[in-house]
Structure 1
Amino acid sequence: MAARKRNPNGAGSIWQRKDGRWEGRVYVPQPDGTRKRKTIYGVTWEDCDEKRQELVRRDRQGIPTPTRSAKLSEWLPYWLEEYIKPQRKRTTYAKYEMHVRLYLVPQLGTRRLETLSTANVRRMVSAVTEQASAATAKESHRVLRTALTAACREELITRNVAQLVPAPRELRPWTLDESLAFLEAARPDPLYPAFVLAIALGLRRGEILGLHWQDVDFERRTLTVRRQLQRGTKELYVDTTKNRRARTVPLPLMCVAPLRWQRLRQAGQRAVAGTDWHDGDYVFTTRTGRPVEPRNLYRSFGRIAVAAGLPRVRLHDTRHGCASLLFAAGVAPRTVMEILGHSQIAVTMNVYTHVNDNHRREAMSHMDRLFKRRK
């Protein structure tokens, strides 16, 4: 048989074994950035060479090919650095990294991608729910599902087992009465206007703290959301909104008076601070004009809710409550989507709307009215 041409450097090599089969070896990139030698086999030289060419193609495209199934403790950090960090916002990377570090690696890190089962994922969800909350477990489940989807695209696994496990149900958002009770309890707090915006407009925490006075138009009664204030590892920074678009929201009357009060209060603080005042035009500031720390807004929210004896929810859950109340009032889905700043209406409909018993009773009361007209 004619001698086979020698493959170029880096393209691997193929030879015939004593048992008649063909064997090849190619150095391939690993998920952790190293390179290891992978062995392939074929009944004929052509079979083995086809497998070799596929490995070389993946190598040239920068696709890792683990010599054995990578552990979750190897794949998840690699996925964060190579997929999330270059393409997503800093806040998204920080949130995903936190879930990987605190929940996913401790619970699933020793499991390999190919052997990860639905039972493993269910146990992780239960453990995180017990350790933190249902909302945290739901987010960890979403991070894992996204990471495994990337592994499927890279052909490291054939199925995403996280998609087969339902995410835990979150705590329900506050009802209208509970929201009113919170606002009444929060009235003496300096951040009361911020809480009004969260409940009435469904603004995100970063959007509230990123507001400038130039974004508030009292004459037209509108508020324009242009940016977010976020906390990085070492600093506060300004970022675009989540969907990278500005939106203008009409201000209900319940928001106007608190914002006017905030402006008067801030003017008094500016006079007291004098030359120590940091003029950044932020609506919500400390006594010296510096932006409010996002964590401090969340802590004040939780403290007031506990003192008022209300069910435990996150500040972000006020967005869910706002959406549900708007839908209950008959507001069109497209309008709710624009108010909340979603890029897709499916997010508004599937994630941010909740139906409680009062909504169901009100809906079914329409049946009484319809059938009474028949009599």
Structure 2
Amino acid sequence: MPGYVEDRWWTKRPDPATGKKRKTALYGKGKRYKVTGIPGVRARSFDAKGDADKWKARAQAQSLAGEFVDPRAGKVLLREYVESDWWPALTADPATLETIRGRVWTHVLPHLGELPIREIKVATLRIWLKTLEGKIGPGTANAVWAYLSNILECAVDDEKITRNPCKAKTISPPKVPERKARAWSRQQVAAVQAALPERFRIMVDLGVGAGLRQGEVLGLSVDDIDFQAGFLRVRRQVKKVGGALIFALPKGGKTRSVPLPGYLARQLKAHLGAFPPRDSTLPWGDPAIPETERQAKERAPQTHRLVVTSTRGHVIRRDSWNLRSWKPALAAAGVINDGAVVVRPHRTRPGGRKVLQFESSREHGFHSLRHTFASVQLDARESIVSVSNWLGHANPSITLRIYAHMMPEADGRGRAAMDLWFEGNPKKISPDSPSGPIGLAPGDLDDIPVEVSVAPQRTPTLAKASR
């Protein structure tokens, strides 16, 4: 097998005159034994012959298997690797990249950035994880952990380290507590809607009547409404990237059509009559200045007649609208507590600026209207595939995971079906079903006590959701 250990201090061949080895020009300088000659493996020196032999054997085996990783490559600092290798190659939509950058540069690099990648061990991650969980919520901590794991996995692929310590068996990412989607009652929906300014009340109708996300409501155009066919076409959303608003495809890059109920159609016509749509122009996909002709074409501004605009006819900024309209409406309806006046620093006001601050209401966000839409559809026993398509989920399994607890109970019908099967009543069961229990004769089950309870009948309601 190729590879050998070279003594850097003494010549390989003895002096012909004396028969003894001679000192080389490197005698006494640096490490004495150098392992070299292994294909694809950079030479490495050691002080002791035994260490050189052990490393040579391991390097030869790894080289033969195509798995050799030079440990010296792991000397690069985590910050350097992220900035020079990982981040420049990362691809995602601008809003996602902004989120990732904020979390990595805030929660990963300040703690681990000055460590060489090869020195990031499981013990190091345990301490970092404990610090992380003390500062941020489990959901954010779980996402930050995933970003670090991806960085280290890329370092493995780039042959900087041999394994990803995030995948060790003795450590695991923070667990995200299960949060079941909760729908609102008809009374809650009506109360919140009534507390909103009149021009924004249609947003509630679109959320609860068509299951649109907030950004999709803000990006809905008059041209997306087909009153005659009875459909809404969800083709864009309004997003904020680095402080700038853009038009973009709906979440997941997936457009869809949603049935337009008669009530919602009437509400839309009334809203458009009271608040005529306004043309709004925004860049598409990315607010950054294009660097190529292709980018210029892809990011070309688009103009749409939006159904909902601000009082001045501008595109609505979600964060401002939530603070100034949505949360006050939630407080007025008794969904959250009243806001408190706080003073925040302001660059032009020496004494600061007084603002109304509300409690965190993640579970009572605009998404609650979407949950209510799903609740109504599932309670009416609408197909899970249809509901998934209307919500714009990638596949029905996602819909089931989020809304399974909202689906009507099926155990009562299942027990009744089994009773009919045991009775062998051909008029009440499918002709393809076996005519009776195999291997049992009539009367064989008479002595076995059976306790049966039948689930009460349910009628569709606007919102039935439990935690």
Aligned residues: 331
Cα-to-partner distance string for 1:218-252 (whole Å, 9 max, x where unaligned): 22221101122222225322222333332111123
Q: Which amino acid aligns with 2:394?
A: S
Q: What is the CA deviation profile of residues 127-177 of structure 1, one whole-angstrom value per residue up to 9, with x for unaligned ones?
A: 312xxxx55445445545554554555564335349833532255443332
Choose from 335, 349, 363 the match for 2:409: 363
Q: Is 2:250 the partner of 1:225?
A: no
Q: Secondary structure at the residue paired with 1:175?
A: coil
1:251 pairs with one of 260, 264, 269: 260
8 Å CA contact 1:205–1:315 kept in 2: the answer is yes
- Indicate the SS of the match to 1:67: helix
Which ranges of structure 1 fall in alignment gaps of 5 or more residues?
5-13, 29-36, 271-277
- TM-score normalised per structure 1: 0.67
Contact 1:172 1:354 in 2 (8 A): no
Q: Give, in whole Å, the separation in 2 of the partners of 1:193 and 1:215.
A: 15
Please say if 1:91 is aligned against 2:95.
yes
Paired position in structure 2 for 1:16: 6
* Worse-matched range after superposition: 151-160 or 364-373: 364-373
Q: Secondary structure at the match of 1:267?
A: coil
In the alignment, which of 332, 345, 358 is matched to residue 307 of structure 1?
A: 332
| CA deviation map 1:276-321 (0-9, x unaligned) | xx97411122234332123234333333223333262233455455
Structure with greater contact order relative to length (CA < 8 Å, sep ≥ 6)? 2
Distance in 1 separating the partners of 2:64 and 2:158: 16
> Is the alpha carbon distance of 1:292 and 1:42 closer, same or farther for their aligned partners in structure 2, counting shifts above 3 Å?
farther
* Distance in 2 (alpha carbons) for counterparts of 1:333 and 1:265: 36
User: For the pair shown, which has the larger CA radius of gyration, 1 or 2?
Assistant: 2
Q: Are 2:84 and 1:68 equivalent residues in the alignment?
A: no
Alignment of 1:127-138 (within 5 A): 127-129=135-137, 135-138=139-142
Note the alpha carbon deviations across 1:19-57, whole angstroms, 9 max, x for none: 6551699xx9xxxxxxxx995866587865787899999
- Please name the residue that 1:185 is paired with: 192
Deviations 1:58-89 (A, max 9, x none): 99xxxx98433744x555556762343xx211
Is the 1:286–1:292 contact (alpha carbons within 8 Å) kept by the matching residues of 2? Answer: yes
SS in 2 for 1:363: coil
> In structure 1, how many angstroms separate the alpha carbons of the residues matched to 2:182 and 2:225?
27
Select between 37-46 and 339-348 the one with higher mean Cα deviation: 37-46
Check the 8 A contact 1:141/1:167 in 2, yes or no.
Answer: no
- Secondary structure in 1 aligned to 2:258? strand
Are the structure 2 counterparts of residues 80 and 16 from structure 1 closer, same or farther at C-alpha, using a change threshold of 3 Å?
Answer: closer
Amino acid at match of 1:363: E
Q: Secondary structure at the match of 1:255?
A: helix
Contact 1:212 1:281 in 2 (8 A): yes
Deviations 1:173-212 (A, max 9, x none): 43332x7414422234232222332334332332222211
* SS state at 2:88 partner: helix
TM-score (norm 2): 0.56
SS for the counterpart of 1:128 is coil
1:274 corresponds to: none
- From 189, 196, 209, give the equivalent of 2:218: 209
Any idea what the Cα deviations from partners look like across 1:342-369, whole Å, max 9, x if unmatched? 223333333x3263xxx59x62883798
1: CA distance between counterparts of 2:139 and 2:110?
18
Counterpart for residue 307 of structure 2: 283
Query: How far has the Cα of 1:259 moved from its partner?
Result: 2.0
For the residue of structure 2 that corresponds to 1:127, the secondary structure is: coil
| C-alpha distance in 2 between matches for 1:251 and 1:318 | 16
Structure 2 alignment gaps of length 5 or more: 9-31, 46-51, 280-301, 337-360, 417-451, 455-467
CA displacement at 1:264 relative to structure 2: 1.7
What secondary structure sits across from 1:259 in the alignment?
A: helix
- Does structure 2 retain, via aligned residues, the 8 Å contact 1:193–1:258? yes
Q: Work out the CA distance in 2 between the residues paired with 1:145 and 1:135.
A: 16
Q: How does 1:16-165 map to 2 (within 5 A)?
A: 16-17=6-7, 20=33, 22=35, 43=54, 66-68=73-75, 70-71=77-78, 73-74=79-80, 81-84=87-90, 87-106=91-110, 113-115=120-122, 116-118=124-126, 120-121=128-129, 123-129=131-137, 135-144=139-148, 146-151=150-155, 153-154=157-158, 156=161, 157-161=163-167, 164-165=172-173
| 1:348 corresponds to | 399
Supply the distance in 2 between the matched residues of 1:135 and 1:254 (Cα, whole angstroms). 38
Report 1:234-245 matches (<5 A): 234-245=243-254
- State the one-letter code of the partner of 1:340: L
Seen in structure 2, the aligned counterparts of structure 1 residues 234 and 53 have a Cα distance that, compared at 3 Å, is farther
